[in-house]
């Protein structure tokens, strides 16, 4: 009902672009940089709250560094959200928002931001007008221009205070304690990772792990009930905001996140 009303207010029919929804996000990578595309805005508001008439992009990051993203000189007043670990709030974690950083003033200003991204991760961009009504929202299917470039690796430690180190294995040790199993491990290589979540699963379905506890109270040990069958356990560092790495598989790929995860996953490697 709301989408139909918006079409009536703004006038004209709208043709959904190929990247109207998260599932069909336009994919690009470092091989495409510097990346610039001019394309039409969407027809409906796919994720609650701004931006409206949104479209989606997925960036497959292969190089750790500082990336510059802008939509200057686009139609209307464009708004940008950047997500990690999934598209939108339901599946991912909002990393950054940009609105009026380009030259100009609303309803003409557009977003511009610089953000540190990590190799081996997927990032989603949500692009659309700041509001659904004129003059902020242009006519349906109006064009925007998205530009993405890389400015080399960030110097020194990661910025922003949200990063959790991937780091080496935490040297997990197991010990039988009566009818229970004691787990102990070393500290994370990142000093801000002061808490830990424990995930467990069955070896027969490796990769399908559930949280046993989302916090060890900043301790480096935890006792679990003796599992049935062939079990495995993962100790995942966190900083109270996001989870870090679940470790690597034998092929060097990141293990899948828990089902459900205790916290959104986002990490950078230790220095």
Architecture per CATH, domain 164-268, reads as: Sandwich (2.60)
pLDDT at residue 219 above 50?
yes
The fold of the 2-150 domain, in CATH, is: Jelly Rolls (2.60.120)
Q: Delimit the domains of the chain by residue range.
A: 2-150, 164-268
Domain 2-150 and domain 164-268, same fold? Reply is no
Query: Do the beta carbons of residue 109 and residue 77 sit within 8 Å?
Result: yes
Give the dihedral sign, CA 16/21/26/30: positive
Query: Do the beta carbons of residue 20 and residue 147 sit within 8 Å?
Result: no
* Mean predicted confidence (pLDDT) in 13-22: 91
Taken as a whole, the chain contains a residue count of 271
Q: What is the pLDDT at residue 107?
A: 56
Q: What is the pLDDT at residue 228?
A: 62
Closest CA to 245 of 121, 151, 66: 121
pLDDT at residue 2 above 70?
no
pLDDT at residue 25 above 90?
yes
How much is the CA Rg of the chain, to the nearest whole Å? Answer: 22
pLDDT at residue 34 above 50?
yes
Which of the pair, 246 or 26, is modelled with greater confidence? 26
Calpha distance 198→180 (Å, rounded): 15
Percent of the chain with pLDDT over 70: 76
Q: What is the pLDDT of residues 43-94, one digit of tens each?
A: 887 776 667 789 999 999 988 888 889 998 887 788 899 999 899 878 888 8
* Mean predicted confidence (pLDDT) in 172-176: 77
Question: 270 pLDDT band (50/70/90 cuts)?
Answer: low
Reply yes or no: is the peptide bond before residue 109 cis, omega within 30 of 0: no
Query: Do the beta carbons of residue 2 and residue 14 sit within 8 Å?
Result: no
């Amino acid at each position: 009902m709301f989408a139909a009303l918006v079409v009536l207010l703004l006038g004209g029919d709208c043709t959904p672009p190929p990247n109207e929804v998260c599932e069909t996000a336009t994919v690009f990578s470092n091989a495409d940089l510097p990346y610039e595309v001019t394309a039409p805005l969407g027809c409906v508001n796919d994720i609650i709250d701004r931006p409206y008439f949104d479209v989606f992009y997925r960036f497959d990051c292969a190089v750790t560094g500082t990336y510059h993203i802008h939509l200057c000189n686009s139609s209307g007043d464009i708004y940008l959200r950047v997500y990690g670990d999934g598209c939108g709030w339901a599946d991912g974690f909002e990393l950054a928002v940009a609105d009026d950083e380009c030259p100009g003033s609303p309803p003409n200003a557009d977003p511009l931001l610089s953000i540190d991204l990590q190799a081996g991760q997927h990032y989603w961009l949500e692009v659309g007008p700041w509001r659904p009504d004129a003059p902020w929202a242009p006519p349906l299917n109006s064009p925007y221009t998205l530009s993405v470039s890389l400015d080399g690796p960030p110097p020194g430690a990661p910025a922003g205070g949200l990063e959790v180190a991937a780091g080496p294995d935490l040297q997990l040790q197991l010990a039988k304690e009566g009818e229970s199993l004691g787990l102990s491990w070393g500290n994370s290589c990142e000093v801000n990772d002061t808490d830990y979540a424990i995930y467990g699963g069955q070896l027969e379905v490796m990769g399908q792990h559930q949280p046993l506890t989302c916090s060890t109270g900043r301790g480096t040990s935890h006792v679990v009930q003796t599992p049935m069958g062939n079990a495995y356990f993962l100790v995942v560092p966190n900083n109270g905001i996001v989870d870090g790495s679940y470790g690597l598989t034998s092929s060097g790929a990141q293990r899948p996140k828990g089902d459900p995860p205790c916290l959104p996953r986002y990490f950078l490697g230790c220095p």
